[in-house]
Structure 1
Amino acid sequence: MKAYDTLSQALEDLKDQGYTYDFNLEEKQLGCEKLNKNFAPKDFKVVGSYRFEGMSNPDDNSVIYVIETASGEKGTLVDAYGTYADSLSLEMAQRLRMDRHPDHIG
């Protein structure tokens, strides 16, 4: 996997690789406003992730999930470490955890 210095650098490069949609994390699914669609855990996979740690403030920690849907849409989900962990269904939490270590992206 590629290494990135900043969150914005990673998002820009992933966009250039075709990961153009922005996904939103919901309790039991991912949403995409631009597509006006929702994706159940069985309908997407996490093909990569990148963690970024805030230099001056631990609250600035975030992760980018690189996502591909079963219907072919590709995009990213940006989340602060653990922000939504308590509000996710078990199936969603497992989906985000189980696919985090791919061999390669782009």
Structure 2
Amino acid sequence: MKNYSYDTVSEAMKHLAERGYTTDFEIMAEKECLICHQSATNLSPEEFVIDEIYRFEGDSDPGDEMIVYAISSEMHGLKGIVINAFGLYSDPAVYKIVERLKRQV
């Protein structure tokens, strides 16, 4: 697997889209799954993997601290991204699902 390096979240998103990660996933905390609104597909943690993780630290604003996850589901033929803040602004639902996935990777 090739390692990539990005300076900004938008740069990472653009390059990931060029590599086929075009689906925008959203965390559905109450069901502990990802949802793709375009196709109305729900993905449980067993149905997708985290292919790549990119962490961006805000130099001057902690609100700029973000993590971009490149996600794929062979079962559903989907590739996309999940974006989450980390630190003070992080979404605990994303963290919970990511922790479950780390055991699979």
Structure-2 change in CA distance of 1:88 and 1:8 (3 Å) = closer
For structure 2, the 5+ residue unaligned runs are none
For structure 1, the 5+ residue unaligned runs are 101-106
Structure-2 change in CA distance of 1:50 and 1:98 (3 Å) = farther
Aligned partners of 1:48 and 1:99 also within 8 Å: no
Q: CA RMSD in A?
A: 2.0
Q: State the shift of 1:72 in Å.
A: 1.6
What is the distance in 2 between the residues matched to 1:46 and 1:31? 15
What is the distance in 2 between the residues matched to 1:57 and 1:89? 21
The residue that corresponds to 1:79 in the other structure is: 84
Pick one of 46, 50, 53 that aligns with 2:54.
Answer: 50
The residue that corresponds to 1:38 in the other structure is: 42
TM norm structure 2: 0.82
The structure carrying a bigger helix percent of its residues is 2
Matched residues, number? 98
Q: Which amino acid is 1:26 matched to?
A: M
